[in-house]
Structure 1
């Protein structure tokens, strides 16, 4: 930067900001928190080394990743962003289960409506249709049981989530 105001890194480290400062393009003086959190988690020397090893066109993305990981590490020192990813994957799994339950219920209702319609189906086909409808009811009841939280869980395995 060299001119008027030092970058956030040089300001925090209380040093003179040279015009070829590696931090200046990525840690502007108007956003000091961004560098402070990265410095707290990774250290200025390590961040400087990482940035020097990267081509210039990849440095901005690397800084964004470092800032994201540093924020996640402050919130969850053990798991960092992996904890957030696990939480989101768990949510996706739960939503997929709810979707499967809803689709099963829709299918059951459709089959029940079809079996209620007076049609000219031979007797053997009617019994097959009724048997498959009752099987779908059993599947729906099982899925409702599994998704309702009736599954026994070990409280020792539970961990407080990042966002709850």
Structure 2
């Protein structure tokens, strides 16, 4: 038996041949990588996938299989779709905050300079540009309510 078996051959408890299909992509110093892929796809299926691909695409395919398998093991129901959904929600929240800040900047740019800092209201009352609630009728906290994400 070779002392430098790849993670796949170690996991499968077999000899690691010199032309092992797994060896370049599952090094012995990262056994979890093959463990996740094997648990979700099986060694035989992964071997077939790698053999059917050109050599220059195999590393990318292994990384994709690993990421999908990792997500599926961590979240058996949603897998990587769950991660994509979480990231999409974070993007939406960031876009909301960006739009709000851009609106506040626009309001401040259009506001005339204040001559007397003690007089912040006109005779008719507070000006529209001084209203901190720029999104009248919108609840800024509703974006953090999960029930509204898929409405």
TM-score computed with the length of structure 2 as normaliser? 0.77
Aligned-residue CA RMSD (Å):
2.9
Pair 1:149 & 2:148 matched: no
2-structure distance, mates of 1:13, 1:90: 39
Matches within 5 A, 1:1-150: 3-113=2-112, 134=128, 140-142=134-136, 145-149=138-142
Q: Unaligned 5+ residue runs, structure 2?
A: 116-126
Partner of 2:121: none
Count matched residues.
138
TM superposition shift of 1:29: 1.7
Structure possessing the higher relative contact order (Cα contacts under 8 Å, 6 or more residues apart): 1
Runs of 4+ in 1 over 4 A off after TM superposition: 135-139, 150-153
Distance 1:90 1:136, change over 3 A: farther
Distance 1:63 1:106, change over 3 A: same
Which has the higher mean CA deviation after the structures are superposed, 134-143 or 69-78? 134-143
Q: Unaligned 5+ residue runs, structure 1?
A: 118-132, 158-164
More helix by share: 1
